[in-house]
Structures are given as C-alpha cells and as structure tokens.
C-alpha cells in the first residue's frame, strides 16, 4: 500500500427531510448566494424547502448554471458575489452546480483573471475561498464530498479542472427522494459517471491495498444492483439511497488512497464534451472500453480481477477473463441505454483523434495514466478506436 494522507471535512446530512437542518449549518449573519441550474428545483419542491429552511437569512439567488458549468455564466455569478458582498455560497443542484460553486468559491478572492485558476492551475487552500454548502439533487459526480471541479469554456472549446483542500463543501444534504423527479436519461448518466469514477481509481494494476480494492468492488456491485431499480418507473427509496451514497463514495477520496490511479479516460472524455457537447458520462462510456483494450497488457491483471469479483467470471485464462471484463463493462453501459461508440453521437467524428492529440500536446500533457506514460499519440489511437 502506498503512503497517503486523508482528510475529508464535509459533513453529510443524509435522508428525507434533512434540508430543514441547513439553517443550523450556515451562520445567521451570512449573506448567502443560492446557486442552481435550470429551475427543476422549483418544480420538485427543493427550492421551497430551501427557502423555508433559510427564512430569516439574507438570501440572494443565481440560477441558470448549465450542465458542464460554463465559465461565461459563472463570471456573471461572480459579479453578483462582489456586488452583494456575498460571504457564503449554497449550491442547490447536481455536480455541475456544485462544481460551479467551487469555482466561484476559489475565484471570489482571487486577484487575477478567474480563468487562470484553471489554466495554471491554482490550488485553493483552506481559508482561501468563500465557505459553501451543497444540497444534492442529481447523484453522479461525487462533487458534494470532494474538493475538485471541472469548468467548460465555450469560446475556446476547453474543459479544465482544478481544486484544492479549501474547496470541500462544509456540509452536503443527500435526500434520496429527489431522485423521483430526475429524468431516466440523467439517472443513467449518473450511474455511468459514478461507475467510471470507481474504475479510474481501480482499473490499474492489482494492489496490496485490499480494503480499498474491496470497497471499490462493492461500490461497483451496488451500482449494478441499484441500476434497474432506480431506472424503473416505480420509486424505490432504498435503491435510491444506495445509488446516491454510491455516487458520493465513488469520489470522496477514500478508495484512491494507497493505490495508483488512472484518470486518462476522463481527460479524453472531457475533450469529447468540449467539442461536441456530449453528456459527460456518455463520453466516458465511449472512451473506457477502448482505453482498456489499448492498455490491455498493463491492465489485464486488474481487468481479470474485475471480471471475477464483480461479474463472477470464473472460467478461462487471465487474458480471457480480462477481455470478458471489458465486454461486461460494455454490456452494463448498454443496459443503461448508453452507447459506447463516438459515431453514435456525432457524424463529425473523423478528425477527433487529431484534435485530442493536438490539445494534449499544446497543454504539455505528455504522460497521462497511472504510469504517466500515455502520450498524446496514444490518446490519438485510443480515441480513434472509439469511433
């Protein structure tokens, strides 16, 4: 097991009716900016619950943060923060809204151009950003219990990430009942996103960190078990709760400690979202199978372990089990009605591999993956395999 440090300061308020408790988590004299997305919180009852809970607080609002939070929109929110002298942020939404609030937290006190936070990137340490909490309405990204974020910039077709130990939410509310109002496509995306988060921390090489390995496998199995229940038209509170908690546990930092991690799938997937606007989770499903086939020799030990422990594949050679693991992964994505080829999502895919190679080269991303040896030319080949 590798050396590691672990600190996660986020307080979780889990379960039905927990939104009512947020008034105890936010200082009474705070000037709060509630940030949300397209307005679904006004139709599913969450908005009214927040307003009721914060009755008596000074509360301002900023809505319209899109999926894949856009820099241009967040700059408008940043202007509101400065105009109203906001000193506390509240994200009410899914990972996009929470990521956007993390960026705002970091940018509010940053003296340079806000985009520099992502291009340098600038890590935000404890006490350097505005404090914030979150109310999760779309389980997927795990942003409610970690300190990283990803922001898109439409004018440059970039999607970049940053973070820092000062960007954990002070608290996050997880109420499984919100899942009742989420469209099935978005639930499928959430499952695929969380599933791939686990794979990025697990699908590397066999590790001596047995507990992390077993926890990662348990999250994968729990997501597989919950998937048909949360995709059903009939609401299942327990399944919704398991799904929501799996998404949080997939990326709260625990399972990556003591092991090597990959994240090359995300790096390539982010490019597809930036170029074509494809849902983030679906870009991961496009890239992951090709990534594992291209890096088969390095990953076959873990792929076989995945097949055995997660899918109960017991027969065959190491290589046969490893290939079975990739096929099982593809089948799982397909069971969510998520396609795994780029050509399904766009007819303008033919030069995508070149664009990815060029972007990685220009950013000096010359060594990605768990061994830092995946070059821009390798990324070209993986993306090309994904057509």
* DSSP assignment letter at 121: T
CA dist., res. 269 & res. 280, Å (int): 7
Pairwise CA distance, residues 331 & 338, whole Å:
10
- Which ranges constitute the DSSP H helices of 251-351? 264-276, 280-294, 296-311, 318-335
**pLDDT tens-digit map of 259-271:** 999 999 999 999 9
The DSSP letter of residue 148 is E
Distances (CA, A) of 178 to 16, 91, 142, 172, 312: 9, 15, 16, 14, 33
Q: What is the band of 43 on the pLDDT scale with cuts at 50, 70, 90?
A: confident
Residue 119 tokens read as 């291009």
CA distance 94 to 91: 8
Whole-number pLDDT of residue 143: 95
Contact of 333 with 279, CB cutoff 8 Å: no
Give the DSSP per-residue string, 31-88. Answer: EEEEEESSSGGGTSSHHHHHHHHTTTSEEEEE--PPSS-BHHHHHHHHHHHHHHT--E
Q: What integer is the mean pLDDT of 19-26?
A: 96
> How many CB atoms within 10 Å of residue 43?
9
For 152, 166, 182, 282, 328, the CA distances from 147, given in Å and listed in that order, are: 17, 7, 25, 23, 31
> Beta-carbon neighbour count of residue 86 at 10 Å?
21
Q: Which residue in 148, 130, 129, 122 sits closest to 253, CA to CA?
A: 148
pTM comes to 0.93
Residue 54 gets the label, from left (phi > 0), alpha (psi -120 to 50) or beta, of: alpha
What pLDDT score does 154 carry?
A: 86
What is the tens place of the pLDDT at every residue in 179-208?
A: 999 999 999 999 999 999 999 999 999 999
Identify the helix (H) or strand (E) that includes residue 136.
Answer: strand 132-138
Which CATH architecture fits 184-385? Up-down Bundle (1.20)
Going from N- to C-terminal start, the domains of the chain cover 11-178, 184-385
Phi-psi region of 316 (alpha: psi -120 to 50; beta: other; left: phi over 0): left
CA distance 284 to 365: 19
Strand order in 171-174's β-sheet? 11-14, 171-174, 132-138, 88-94, 31-36, 58-62
Which of 248, 243, 218, 214 is closest to 228 using CA atoms? 243
What is the pLDDT averaged over residues 324-338?
Answer: 98
CA angle 163-159-286, nearest 5°? 110
Class of CATH domain 11-178: alpha beta
- Looking at the chain, the whole-number percentage of residues with pLDDT higher than 90 is 94
Question: How large is the angle between the packed helices 376-385 and 280-294, nearest 10 degrees?
Answer: 110
Mean pLDDT of 120-143: 94
In this predicted model, what pLDDT tens digit does every residue of 145-170 receive, in sequence order?
A: 999 999 999 888 888 999 999 999 99
Alpha carbons 226 and 181: distance in angstroms, whole number: 17
More confident residue, 98 or 157: 98
* Residue pair 36/48 in contact by the 8 Å Cβ criterion: no
């Amino acid at each position: 097991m590798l050396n590691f440090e672990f600190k996660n300061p986020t307080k979780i308020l889990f379960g039905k009716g927990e939104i009512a408790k947020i008034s105890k988590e936010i200082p009474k004299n705070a000037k709060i900016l509630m940030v949300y997305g397209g307005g679904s919180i006004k139709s599913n009852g969450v908005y009214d619950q927040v307003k009721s809970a914060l009755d008596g607080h000074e509360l301002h609002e900023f809505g319209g943060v899109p999926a894949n939070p856009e820099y241009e929109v967040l700059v408008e929110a940043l202007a509101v923060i400065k105009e109203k002298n906001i000193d506390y942020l509240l994200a009410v939404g899914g990972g996009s809204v929470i990521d956007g609030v993390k960026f705002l937290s970091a940018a509010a006190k940053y003296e340079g151009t806000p985009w520099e936070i992502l291009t340098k990137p600038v890590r935000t340490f404890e006490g350097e950003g505005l404090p914030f909490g979150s109310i999760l309405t779309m389980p997927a990204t795990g942003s409610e219990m970690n300190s990283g974020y990803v922001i898109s910039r439409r004018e440059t077709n970039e999607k970049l990430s940053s973070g820092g130990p000062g960007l954990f939410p002070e608290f996050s509310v997880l109420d499984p009942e919100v899942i009742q109002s989420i469209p099935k496509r978005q639930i499928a995306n959430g499952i695929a996103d969380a599933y791939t988060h686990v794979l990025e921390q697990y699908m590397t090489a066999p590790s001596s960190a047995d507990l992390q390995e077993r926890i990662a496998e348990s999250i994968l199995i729990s997501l597989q078990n919950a998937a048909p229940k949360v995709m059903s038209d009939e609401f299942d509170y327990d399944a919704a709760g398991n799904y929501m908690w799996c998404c949080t546990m997939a990326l709260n930092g625990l399972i990556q400690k003591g092991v090597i991690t990959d994240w090359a799938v995300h790096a390539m997937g982010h490019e597809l979202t930036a170029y074509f606007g494809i849902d983030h989770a679906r870009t991961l499903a496009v890239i992951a199978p090709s990534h594992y086939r291209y890096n088969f020799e390095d990953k076959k030990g873990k792929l076989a372990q995945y097949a055995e422990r997660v899918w109960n594949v017991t027969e065959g050679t190491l290589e046969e089990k490893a290939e079975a693991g990739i096929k099982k992964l593809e089948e799982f994505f397909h069971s969510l009605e998520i396609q795994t080829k780029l050509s399904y999502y766009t007819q303008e895919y033919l030069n995508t591999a070149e664009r990815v190679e060029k972007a990685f080269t220009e950013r000096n991303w010359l060594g990605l993956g768990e061994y830092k040896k995946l070059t821009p030319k390798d990324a070209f080949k993986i993306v090309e395999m994904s057509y």
